[in-house]
Chains A and B, each alone.
Chain A
Amino acid sequence: MSETLAAVRAETTKLRGIRGTRISLLLFAAVSVLIAALDGWSAKNALESDNPSLRSDFTPEQAGLDGILYGQLALIVFGVLVVTSEYTSGMIRVSLLAVPRRGRLYVAKTAVTALAAVAVSVPVTVLGYLATQAALGSHGSSLGASGVPRALAGAVVYLTLMCLFAAGIAAIARNAVVPLAVLLPMVLAGTHILSLIGATKEMARYFPDQAGNELLTVRSPHTAFGFTVLLAWTVAALGWGWVRQRRWDS
């Protein structure tokens, strides 16, 4: 056990020391909060000018969770970089010399990735929500509004699982290019487009990001469904990544 804790500490130092992973976390925070504020500000203008371009289902509560939908791109990059930074340089061999039990190394890295994602997601989610409400001014809602605490908690779960999903995909691919080329377009547009086409609408619900979106929808009736589907994707990605790591002859 103490060996695993030592490995966790070491992974924390790596994560903080490597510039790419650190920057992607900062970017996640900055983009999420900034977009949340802009979102609130433009909604306020629309509301006050009776602009019809505002979505019919607009609520200030849901608008408070829009920022992280953009910010999550950086968090996905973070999840990918945490894993692939080992492979771009050959550091994985140094890591395996220090922690020869592959399961221990994998668990330590996954745990630190999850901890970092939670530690950053909690303040960013809350701050983003508050930023939107502040920008909405008199149209804003409060942290305690019905369904909001649950959606904020769901957002943290969503972000953490998406980050781990990305890490798992990266562990399968062992390079950053393929996971990023698949994950970023998927999250940006792909599954959204699928969800608009009648034939693929039902299928799109089972994609990790679409399912996960139920978690951060205020008063969603499908939270449990969304959580289960996203969790299944994450466990599958991490599990496959583990099999690849265990078999790999370094």
Chain B
Amino acid sequence: MIDVQNLTKRYGPATVVDGLTFTVRPGAVTGFLGPNGAGKSTTLRMMLGLTRPDTGTARIDGHAYGDLAYPLRHIGALLETSAPHRGLTARDHLRWLAQSNRIATGRVAEVLEAVGLTDAARRRTGTFSLGMGQRLGLAAALLGDPPVLVLDEPVNGLDTEGIRWLRELLRSMAAEGRTVLISSHLMTEMALVADHLVVISRGRLLADTGMSDFIERHGRSYVRVRTPEPDRLGRELEGGGATVTRVPGGGLDVVGMAAADVSRIAAAGGFPLDELGTHAGSLEETFLDVIGEGQRVPGQEGRNTHV
């Protein structure tokens, strides 16, 4: 379990993390979301004792990171900005990590096997591809068989097979009752793997909720309808107060009207329907909506956000 209480970090006049409080519970994969510059990385670094917070605490199973005697046995972390020395072999890198935390050196071969780097164990990490480097970072995070995992952008550089492997790994880690926190800017990936979401923007908490709850509560569900005469039906629906967007293949996405009402209007106008269904908003759209609201400043409505 990771417990973040009232965490604040300022760099000069800029408040990067602003009174953040949330808890990451065991037994689930928690996604940590926020646009660029939201303070995700700073929050993770404070959790891991690399950056000193101005106020507040971050505790790993009740302990500040710096107080853990052998931290790699309690929490495995992967950070974007940390990398092994290019002149070290993969095996030597994991060996010194194991030695520093008194982890049995037999684990080195085990984690290399687990991430599929056994054949590259004696290669210098400077010769690794992005994906191999990422696998080595994951091996380092898994080395101490920790009950807590914190992974910053873990799918970066992984191929399709690697992403799938990681997804299954994270799910099984959570199923074993471990605490798993991952940040990613890939919404589709996050939607597939996370059970719970912590969303921040401008250093503040916007949501701390279950994935489906988040989309239900904040997402815009829409009715997808398909007909041979989309233009005419579209006008009818707009006349009924709905917002309509054309999609390729004669489809219309209808927002602001229930499927039953769409059906009634279509029937009254004699439109044949090839498809009619209600869809939940995607994580990506919902996220953008929530972030947009969080960043909206009076007089500056509807600002766009980079994710």
Contacts and interface: CB of A to CB of B under 8 A. Distances in A.
A90 B92 contact: no
Nearest to B80: A90
B125 to A, nearest CB: 9
* Most chain B beta carbons < 10 A, residue from A18, A90, A95, A98: A98
A85 B52 CA distance: 24
Contact of A3 (B49, B65, B70, B85): B70
B102 A6 contact: yes
Interface in A79-125: 85-86, 88-91, 93-101
Contacts of B87: 17-20, 85
A93 B100 contact: no
7 contacts: A17-B88, A17-B95, A18-B87, A89-B83, A91-B85, A94-B82, A97-B72
Contacts of A13: 92, 95-96, 99
A10 B88 CA distance: 13
B77 interface: yes
A249 interface: yes
A115 to B, nearest CB: 15
Given A17-B93, A17-B96, 20 more contacts: A3-B69, A6-B101, A10-B99, A13-B92, A17-B87, A17-B92, A18-B85, A86-B85, A88-B85, A89-B84, A89-B86, A90-B82, A93-B79, A94-B82, A94-B83, A96-B50, A97-B48, A97-B77, A98-B71, A249-B52
Interface of A: 2-3, 6-7, 9-11, 13-14, 16-20, 85-86, 88-91, 93-101, 249-250
Contacts of B124: 19
Interface string B185-214: 000000000000000000000000000000
Given A93-B50, A93-B79, A250-B51, A98 B100 contact: yes
Nearest to B75: A97
Given A17-B96, A100-B49, A89 B69 contact: no
Interface residues of B, number: 35
A244 to B, nearest CB: 15
B144 to A, nearest CB: 9
A147 B79 CA distance: 55
A112 B215 CA distance: 54
B97 A91 contact: no
Contact of A9 (B51, B77, B100): B100
Contacts of A96: 49-50
A contact patch SS: helix
B68 interface: yes
A51 B124 CA distance: 52
Contacts of B101: 6, 98
Nearest to A17: B92
* Most chain B beta carbons < 10 A, residue from A90, A94, A100: A94
B140 interface: yes
Contacts of B72: 97-98
B50 A250 contact: yes
B160 interface: no
Contact of A10 (B81, B83, B96): B96
* Most chain A beta carbons < 10 A, residue from B51, B79, B85, B93: B85
A93 B81 contact: yes
* Most chain A beta carbons < 10 A, residue from B48, B65, B93, B96: B96
Contacts of B66: 100-101
B85 A10 contact: no
B221 interface: no
A7 B85 contact: no
A86 B100 CA distance: 15
A100 B89 contact: no
